[in-house]
Amino acid sequence: MIKRSIIYSLNHPKTIVGFSIFFLIFALTQLPRIEIDTDPENMLPADAPVRIFHHQTKEEFSLYDFIVLGIVNEKNADGVFNPGTLKIIYDLTEEIKKVDGVIAHEIVAPSTKDNIEQADLGSVRFQWLMEEPPSTQEQALKIRDEAMDHPMFKGSVVSDDGKALALYIPLARKDISYEVANEIRKITQRYSGDEDYYITGLPVAEDQFGVEMFKQMAVSAPLAGLIIFLLMLFFFRSVKLVVAPMIVAVLTVILTMGLLIGLGYPVHIMSSMIPIFLMPIAVLDSVHILSEFFDKYKQFNDRKKTIVFVLDELFKPMLFTSLTSAVGFFSLSFSPIPPVQVFGVFVAVGVMLAWVLTILLIPAYIMLLNEKSFKDFGHTSKEGESHFIDKMLTGVREACLKHFKLILAVTVCLVIVSVYGISHIRVNDNPVRWFSLNHPIRIADRILNAHFSGTYEAYLVLEAQNTKDEVFMHPDMLKYVEKLQTELIRSPYVGKTTSLADIVKKVYYELLGGDKVNNVIPTTKAAVAQSLISFENSHKPDDLWHLTTPDYSKVNIWLQLKSGDNKDMSEVVDFVDTYIKGNPPPLMLKYNWAGLSYINVVWQNNMVMGMLRNFLGSFVIVFFMMIFLFRSLIKAVISMIPLTVTILFIYSLLGFVGKDYDMPVAVLSALTLGLSIDFAIHFIQRSIEVQHKQRDWQKTIVEMFKGPG
């Protein structure tokens, strides 16, 4: 049926072109329906337990995703604690409150949070840390001292050296963080002085990456197409002929994306890479056809006879190269990551669509060209001259004939070295590291994490099994939480922790006269209750419920991490597991994690292990396809060698140069699987055909390296 379709395309080229235009127009009508999704959290299914618990925790403790705005003053001796800078911070806070999407009453800033200090013995007074901007340096320094004495501010809002101050800006939805961050940047640009402003935080990093990724794809895909076009033009020296593969590539991309959007799938960060993946794959079969057509046209001097001969020779290898590429990508559909599933399925569909377009549209296009267009086609050099590609191939041929043992030995050595390099691969990801070193997000990340206890957040939720006894009012349980926090701080990954225990200690020692000796957990439940009741008289009593539930059956420990690396978050999780196992709490409890840092760990682990399983599975499938194609186990094994060595070598480079095995690298494994086998299939299939004619492997090798293919 397929061969009849090819003959039909040769006899009715205008009909084939007409159908192509019809489907193109239909696909273009779907593009305006595009929905863009830049949220990496959607790397996990909506019903994933970690996502459910994360959102449950946010709702239960009234937590929000934050943008962190850092204000740094390195020039003033007292840092940000001078009347001028504090006035700017106060005004900034008031302006940010008006930005759409900001939860104004939850902003963490000196003017929005209480200072706790002794009133009389046995009572405390709550007043805004900075009710109004200070007018004197003495007042500015008083604000600094009070902030440094507050466990909620020191290291979080105020840096230990006083040179920096951070505003934590909560968002109604994290998918608006890019827009909100831009509004905040516009506000900061209206202020001049010694202050520098930095914006960071996982929500804005992830959202901004998504936005910039789409912009980059809009440039990269056409640029890739241009490079491919110029390369083909260099080899074939015919604009009319080279246009055909580009038409196939563009049609493939538009039809595939139109199908994806038309079926209602959002275009995720992963899906945005589909055009850049399909562009080179879509021209591969076209290049093979044109190369063979280029070589054989002189023999027939008839475009129809030539294209029939070429397609007859290349049909089988083109089919199998397309199938192997499609299998490599379709294997991603078994990944536990929904956007990766969509990406894999639609790239696989695009690969097969490119194959169909190639065997139908390329012949139709050639038949629409005037026969005169092929005058002297294939004669690219004057008599006696050699194309540099021919010279290069001659050198490769001679090397294969004379030094085959050396080539095999080098290949074996390369495999051994590659295995060693792979053993040093580090599995890790960090959305902030997706940006270049000089990107504002990376700069802000470095500077603010140097000043503060950490801008990456995670939440450790402890839940008592007994929910009726106000368990976390018990001094022993609060002391257990305090001890856990102390041990966490000793790890190299945690900059600071904040919990209910810190609030109780702060209020308690102020109640007892402000003596640091009393900065401890009270010894009785009644004293703990008194401290908590006192805190409820503050301007922001609901701040308490960020750290515990009203029945005191759960507490939330807020961790600040200096690094967003998944491996660091994993180390913290393992540490807590080990600590709680080795140090059982006074009363039975269970615990779980929430926060974007932890979610990133979960989806990365799922992705990496899922991609590895899928890759190995597709590797086996491709191997059996090679056995079926060549009807020989030996030839199938040989065909897999380029694929295997290529993949081993590429991944070994990650280990040697210290590059993390992250999301982009994991996805590229599918592309490597598809493309590496392509050349082996064509080379072996052609070798078999030539060897049948020559009946001599020496002559076969000479024939194989006569020209590019």
| Dist CA 612 CA 422 (whole Å) | 14
Give tens-digit pLDDT for 263-293: 999 998 788 889 988 888 888 888 888 888 8
Residues 333 and 345: beta-carbon distance below 8 Å: yes
Average confidence score pLDDT of the chain: 87
Question: How confident is the model at residue 390, as a pLDDT?
Answer: 67
What mean pLDDT comes out for the span 531-541?
87
Contact indicator for 626, 485 with CB cutoff of 8 Å: no
- Token pair listed for 283: 């021209």
Beta bridge partners of 125: 117
Q: Give the 3-state DSSP-derived string for 153-197, with helices as H, strands as E and coil as C.
A: CECCCECCCCCEEEEEEEECCHHHHHHHHHHHHHHHCCCCCCCEE
Lowest mean pLDDT among 23-32, 357-366, 428-437: 428-437
Cα dihedral 640→644→645→646 (10° resolution) = 100
pLDDT at residue 523 tops 50: yes
Burial class of residue 534 in the structure, from the number of CB atoms within 10 Å of its CB (0-12 exposed, 13-18 middle, 19+ buried) = buried
Q: Residues 356-378, buried b or exposed e (16+ Cβ, 10 A)?
A: ebbbbbbbbbbbebeeeebeebb
For residues 74, 80, 86 and 92, what is the CA-based torsion angle, rounded to 10 degrees?
A: 60
**Averaged over 63-76, what is the pLDDT?**
95
In one-letter notation, the amino acid at residue 668 is L
Share of the chain above pLDDT 70, in %: 94
Number of H helices, E strands in the chain: 22, 11
pLDDT at 404: 82
What's the CA angle centered on 412, arms 409 and 413, to 5 degrees?
A: 85
Confidence of residue 384 (pLDDT cuts 50, 70, 90): very low
More confident residue, 689 or 80: 80
Model confidence pLDDT, tens digit, residues 638-667: 878 887 888 888 889 889 998 888 776 776
Q: Which amino acid is at 664?
A: P
The span from the CA of 583 to the CA of 595, in Å, is 24
**Residue 295 identity (one-letter amino acid):** D
Mean pLDDT of 86-109: 96
Instruction: Provide mean pLDDT across the span 104-128.
Output: 86
pLDDT tens-digit readout, 177-204: 999 999 999 999 999 889 999 999 889 9
- Let me know: does 240 contact 365? Beta carbons within 8 Å: no
Contact predicate 301/295, CB 8 Å = no
Half-sphere exposure of 150 (CA within 13 A, CB side): 23
pTM listed for this prediction: 0.83
Candidate ranges 43-57, 600-614, 668-682; pick with highest mean pLDDT: 43-57
Closest CA to 526 of 502, 504, 542: 504
**Alpha carbon distances (Å) from 25 to 29, 250, 258, 432, 504:** 6, 13, 10, 39, 67
**Cβ contacts of residue 648 below 8 Å, gap of 6+?**
414, 415, 418, 419, 422
Alpha helices by DSSP H, listed for 176-273, are 177-188, 202-236, 239-262
User: What amino acid occupies position 278?
Assistant: L
pLDDT of residue 584: 94
DSSP 124: E
How large is the C-alpha radius of gyration of the chain? Answer: 33
What pLDDT was estimated at residue 199? 96
Task: Look at residues 424, 342, 451 and name the one whose alpha carbon lies nearest to residue 71.
Answer: 451
What are 589's strand-pairing partners? 464
Does residue 530 have a pLDDT over 80?
yes
Residue 293's Cβ-count burial label (10 Å; 0-12, 13-18, 19+) is buried
28-32, 433-437, 683-687: range with highest mean pLDDT: 28-32
Dihedrals phi, psi of 557, to nearest 5 degrees = -95, 120
Q: Give dist(CA 501, CA 489) in Å, integer.
A: 15
Residue type present at position 165: L
Which residue in the block uniquely carries the two structure tokens 């669509």? 353
**What pLDDT is recorded for position 604?**
82
What is d(CA 556, CA 544) in angstroms, rounded to the nearest whole number? 10
CB 474 within 8 A of CB 586: yes
Domains in the chain (CATH in brackets) are: 2-39+238-377+387-423+603-704 (1.20.1640.10), 64-207 (no CATH), 443-602 (no CATH)
Interacting residues of 436 by C-beta distance below 8 A, sequence separation 6+ = 442
Which range among 247-251, 472-476, 690-694 shows the weakest confidence by mean pLDDT?
690-694
Which residue blocks in 491-562 are alpha helix, DSSP H?
Answer: 500-511, 525-535
- Among the residue ranges 213-217, 478-482, 508-512, 607-611, the one predicted with the least confidence is 607-611
pLDDT of 383 strictly over 90: no
CB of 78 closer than 8 Å to CB of 164: no
Angle at which helix 566-582 crosses helix 596-630, to 10 degrees, equals: 110
**CA pair distance 269, 39, nearest whole angstrom:** 8
Burial class (CB in 10 A: 0-12, 13-18, 19+), 656: middle
Do residues 2 and 300 lie in contact, with contact meaning Cβ atoms separated by under 8 Å?
Answer: no
Would you call 81 helix, strand, or coil by DSSP?
A: coil
User: Could you read off the pLDDT of 568-598 as tens digits, one per residue?
Assistant: 999 999 999 999 999 999 999 999 999 999 9
Task: Specify the 3-state DSSP secondary structure of 118.
Answer: strand
Q: Can you state the percent helix, strand and coil of the chain, rounding each to 5?
A: 65, 10, 25
Q: Which segments of 537-659 does DSSP mark as H helices, in order? A: 566-582, 596-630, 633-657
CA dist 235 and 294 (Å) reads 10
Q: Any idea what the Cα angle at residue 205 is, between residues 200 and 211, rounded to 5°?
A: 135
User: Cα torsion for 445, 449, 455, 460, to the nearest 10°?
Assistant: 140
Who wins on pLDDT, 391 or 341? 341
Task: Give, rounded to a whole angstrom, the gap between the first and last alpha carbons of the chain.
Answer: 27
Give the CB-side neighbour count of residue 434, counting CA atoms within 13 A.
22
Task: Report the pLDDT value the prediction gives residue 515, as an integer from 0 to 100.
Answer: 73
Residue 54 and residue 460: Cα distance in Å, rounded?
Answer: 11
Calculate the alpha carbon distances from 610 to 44, 115, 194, 304, 334 in Å. 12, 49, 50, 47, 8
Position 475 pLDDT exceeds 70: yes
